[in-house]
């Protein structure tokens, strides 16, 4: 049985051990040691990394009661010196113990029970048994203040096996899963136990090691809520990242960082107003084009008025909208419109006629647009579509004109 040094000495990062057996984990050779400071993945805490005798440890898993250290190279034999990646261990310890404190704070503040915990690469999260609607910004800030209070008080943390008598006296936050190991936050002697939770993970000696805890957001998660958070070093990194993003946004908006929200709102409102204005102008322009074309229309049609067949050049981008505007203007003036335009090599068609009885524009267009290799359709009095082959636009319009009743 491997002596698990990380249980009683979570700060121990270097150790000497002997290789007891060599097994395999995935594609890697994996050694079993007589003692180890490497934490195997479990309880929501990822496995440690580091090296054994200079060979990188790529994973640590518990399999059938053995701690397997998967290696990137050939397994050493005999005595070996182990080194745990301290930065990674501290990061996991901060997120993991931060979760214990956060779960205690949610329970104390909102009677919200923690159902699960995920230690992510960027942010971590806990799932709670309360609806997300209860976790508005004010509630999150209140819990955040509470959990940071636990950190700043730098309370003692005890992680060890407790006797059945001791266990019975502890205010356990949840049932023990296996073993009698419990993480107790606070001083039992002075009657100030803040949290007691069964756990086999690595924990600090004092809560201060967790560093500042920041709650990021609450999301709906089934019937409950998922709360994302960061602790310690991640809080500092995230703050720097957000500052950087804010500075970039401020630069683009040409304003001070503190004014980004107002500037973004003003820019969005301004953009919407200008878009509306542009649409109005485009409509007026299309109507003017329709009036010009209607005045020049000569060929009368038995039903549907004079026919205007034309290939148009839209004044800006958006051939489809331009054709629809002009065709609508022509139909309103009693004409039948067979219009086309080419944009980026693609062909666009729009057919329209006055309302009432007359040839079906939808059918007419479906046939014509097939010549462009595309699709389209519409109502009896207005139809449009487009296809990739803009070079056959004239042929498509001619075919449609030929199908109109004389």
**Residues interacting with Zn ion, by CB under 5 A?**
199, 201
Angle (deg, nearest 10), helices 86-110 and 233-253: 80
User: CB 185 → Zn ion: shortest distance, Å?
Assistant: 11
Q: Which position's Cβ is nearest Zn ion?
A: 199
Asked if residue 336 lies in contact with residue 404, where contact means CB atoms within 8 angstroms, the answer is: yes
Give min distance, CB of 254 to Zn ion, in A.
48
CB nearer to Zn ion: pick between 199 and 297 = 199
How do the residues of the chain divide into helix, strand and coil, expressed in percent and rounded to 5?
A: 40, 30, 30
Please report how close the Cβ of residue 198 comes to Zn ion at its closest, in angstroms.
8
Query: 347 has which bridge partners?
Result: 342, 387
Cβ-based nearer residue to Zn ion, 115 or 310: 115
* Nearer to Zn ion among residue 147 and residue 199 (C-beta): 199
Nearest distance from residue 33's CB to Zn ion, in Å? 23
Hunting for tokens 């636009």 — which residue is that?
393
- Which residues touch 214 (CB under 8 Å, ≥6 apart)? 144, 229, 230, 231, 235, 238
By the 8 A CB rule, do 126 and 227 touch? yes
Residue 401, phi-psi category: left (phi > 0), alpha (psi -120 to 50), beta (remainder): alpha
To Zn ion, the closest distance from the beta carbon of 181 in angstroms equals: 10
Instruction: Give the nearer residue to Zn ion in terms of CB position, either 159 or 341.
Output: 159
Shortest spacing between CB 74 and Zn ion, in angstroms: 35
DSSP string, 329-386: HHHHTT-EEEEEEEETTEEEEEEE--SSSS--HHHHHHHHHHTTT-EEEE-SSEEEEE
Tokens 């699960």 — which residue? 116
Q: Which is nearer to Zn ion, 75 or 105 (CB)?
A: 105
Smallest separation (angstroms) from Zn ion to the CB of 240: 28
* Measured distance CA(228)–CA(209) in Å, rounded: 20
Comparing CB distances to Zn ion, the nearer of 177 and 273 is 177
Residue 16 or 161 having the CB closest to Zn ion: 161
């Amino acid at each position: 049985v491997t002596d698990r040094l990380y249980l009683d000495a979570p700060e121990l990062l270097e150790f000497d051990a002997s290789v007891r057996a060599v097994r395999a984990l995935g594609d890697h050779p994996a050694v079993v040691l007589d003692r180890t400071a490497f934490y195997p993945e479990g309880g929501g805490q990822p496995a440690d990394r580091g090296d054994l005798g200079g060979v990188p440890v790529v994973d640590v898993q518990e399999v059938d009661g053995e701690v397997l250290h998967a290696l990137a190279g050939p397994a050493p034999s005999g005595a070996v010196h182990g080194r745990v990646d301290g930065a990674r261990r501290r990061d996991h310890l901060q997120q993991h113990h931060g979760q214990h404190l956060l779960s205690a704070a949610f329970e104390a503040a909102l009677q919200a029970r923690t159902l699960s915990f995920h230690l992510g690469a960027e942010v971590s999260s806990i799932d709670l048994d309360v609806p997300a609607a209860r976790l508005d910004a004010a509630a999150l800030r209140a819990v955040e203040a509470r959990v940071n209070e636990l950190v700043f008080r730098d309370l003692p943390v005890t992680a060890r096996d407790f006797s059945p008598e001791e266990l019975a006296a502890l205010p356990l936050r949840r049932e023990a899963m296996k073993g009698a190991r419990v993480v107790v936050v606070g001083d039992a002697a002075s009657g100030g136990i803040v949290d007691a939770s069964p756990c086999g993970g690595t924990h600090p000696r004092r809560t201060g090691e967790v560093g500042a805890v920041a709650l990021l957001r609450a999301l709906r998660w089934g019937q409950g809520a998922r709360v994302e958070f960061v602790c310690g070093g991640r809080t500092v990194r995230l703050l720097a990242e957000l500052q950087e993003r804010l500075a970039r946004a401020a630069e683009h908006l040409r304003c001070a960082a503190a004014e980004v929200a107002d500037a973004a709102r003003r820019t969005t409102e301004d953009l919407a107003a200008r878009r509306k204005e542009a649409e109005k102008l485009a409509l007026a322009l299309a109507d003017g084009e329709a009036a010009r074309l209607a005045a020049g229309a000569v060929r009368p049609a038995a039903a549907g008025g004079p026919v205007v067949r034309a290939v148009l050049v839209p004044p800006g981008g958006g051939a489809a909208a331009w054709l629809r505007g002009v065709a609508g203007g022509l139909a309103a003036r009693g004409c039948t419109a067979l219009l086309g335009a080419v944009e980026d090599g693609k062909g666009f068609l729009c057919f329209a006629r006055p309302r009432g009885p007359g040839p079906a524009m939808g059918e007419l267009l479906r046939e014509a647009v097939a010549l462009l290799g595309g699709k389209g359709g519409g109502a009896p009095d207005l139809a449009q579509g487009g296809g990739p082959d803009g070079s056959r636009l004239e042929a498509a319009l001619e075919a449609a004109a030929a199908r109109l009743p004389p």
